[in-house]
Structure 1
Amino acid sequence: MLRKPHALLTAAALLALSAATPAAADTPPPPARTAACAYTPAVPADRFKGIPVFDPVKAARPYSATLRTSQGAITFRAQTDKAPCTTYSFKFLAQRAYFDRTHCHRLTTARIYVLQCGDPTGTGSGGPGYSFPDENLTGAAYPAGTVAMANAGPDTNGSQFFFVWQDTKLPPAYTPFGKVTAGLDVLRKIAAGGEDDQNGPGDGFPALPVDIKRVHIRVG
């Protein structure tokens, strides 16, 4: 099965990528922030669940997400205060079973240390049928346990995201939107299993299959 590294740039490309800090990350007043949370129709539209309509009241509600995978459960706390557009989209898709019965299609074990998921096609090129702007990039860092959006360039967020399983240096170009609270050991077990190097040394499909059975959202 083809697994293109479309949505998270290769290590070489990442080193050449300049930092991006869009206006949405500069803590604008509520009206401007709401306006920035616009979801724009985009292709592809795989397993289409509709396009969310941002609700600032619902978006502000904190929540945790638990991914029950074939390798164990991974839970993260969504940063609804820092990345409301992103966390609202993730919850919208999760509550509509978008991620259920999908698999994490990319593991990197050299220079960058992430497990990438969220593509129902498993190719690295799939998306939910809409895109939305970057957020929370000012001062963004990617220590172990970070959950962030994969993308194909500025403001191209869709459904693909990644877990950082070991401290990683990346340019502030990938919206951080969550912190792992349980399951970092699961991520490290997956990483220890290695990958198939399909995209180059240290970059490919995880040798331990990571099938997402379901994603449970707990509000509060």
Structure 2
Amino acid sequence: MSEQDRSNTTKKSTVYIALFTAIAIIVGTVIVGIGGASNPQDASAPQAPAADLPTAGITESNKAQITFTTNQGEIVIETLPALAPLTVNALAALAQKNYFDNTICHRLTTEGIFVLQCGDPTGTGTGGPGFNIPDENLPEPIENNYPAGTVAMANAGPGTSGSQFFLVYQDTTLGPDYTIWGTITSGLEIVQTIASAGVIDGGPDGAPATGVTIESTKVTIS
């Protein structure tokens, strides 16, 4: 084989490798986007031992509600301390410190996944409290495993829940990867009304067209 032949062969190999790499990237992107909207995500942070997570002193025998007063109305969540004690205590402790006050619900999804996502102090989808909560109370991998009224944690992978959570306004099927920590007992119709206005740019996933701000938060323990 001449030097020219070798050079041509090398160039062809380089082109093929570049082509295969580009195809792999495109395929990977398509796979991530299947379902009309990507899954609820939260920024990742180092996972803290359970003993280091904040607590509101809620035990498994307690009843605890978190009430979010928003500019669109009041949303009341009955927490599940017996099933998700670490998550409930961490979020209640943040709420007691006014962590969620004056924050926006930054994301709405309207195709395939039907959720309103809140809890990011930066309003960008990348913020968090600086700790991660272990996964708890994960549902079975069945259809509509996140029914309307469910409140669950957003995450960036196993064991990465922080402060971002999502409110399910219509029965939704997701991978069994998101801690369920509460149920909306009042205000579901508010979330549904927000969802009916759609996303700000008309797409299936983005900032809600009806702006939602959490003005204040109240924790009630009995």
Q: Give the TM bin, normalised by the shorter chain.
A: 0.7 to 0.9
Larger Cα-atom Rg = 2
Runs (5+) with no aligned partner, structure 1:
1-9, 18-34, 40-50
1: CA distance, partners of 2:73 / 2:214: 9
Deviations 1:27-63 (A, max 9, x none): xxxxxxxx97345xxxxxxxxxxx51x58x6333220
Matching residue of 1:68: 69
Is the contact made by 1:100 and 1:214 (CA closer than 8 Å) also made in structure 2? yes
Matching residue of 2:188: 184
Distance 1:105 1:185, change over 3 A: same
1: CA distance, partners of 2:66 / 2:75: 8
Q: Give the letter aligned to residue 153 of structure 1.
A: G
Runs (5+) with no aligned partner, structure 2:
1-31, 40-47
Give the Å deviation of 1:139: 2.2
TM-score, length-scaled by structure 2: 0.74
Q: Give the letter aligned to residue 159 of structure 1.
A: S
Matching residue of 2:58: 58
Give the Å deviation of 1:180: 0.5
Is the contact made by 1:59 and 1:87 (CA closer than 8 Å) also made in structure 2? no
Distance 1:130 1:196, change over 3 A: same
- Matching of residues 154-193 of structure 1 within 5 Å: 154-193=158-197
Deviations 1:84-143 (A, max 9, x none): 010000101000000001010000001100000000000000000111210011427200
Matching residue of 2:5: none
Residues 1:133 and 2:134 aligned together: yes
Helix, strand or coil at the partner of 2:34: helix
2: CA distance, partners of 1:122 / 1:15: 19
Matching residue of 1:79: 80
Deviations 1:62-95 (A, max 9, x none): 2011100011111010000000010000101000
TM-score, length-scaled by structure 1: 0.75
Residues 1:207 and 2:209 aligned together: yes
Structure 1 vs Structure 2 CA RMSD: 2.5
More helix by share: 2
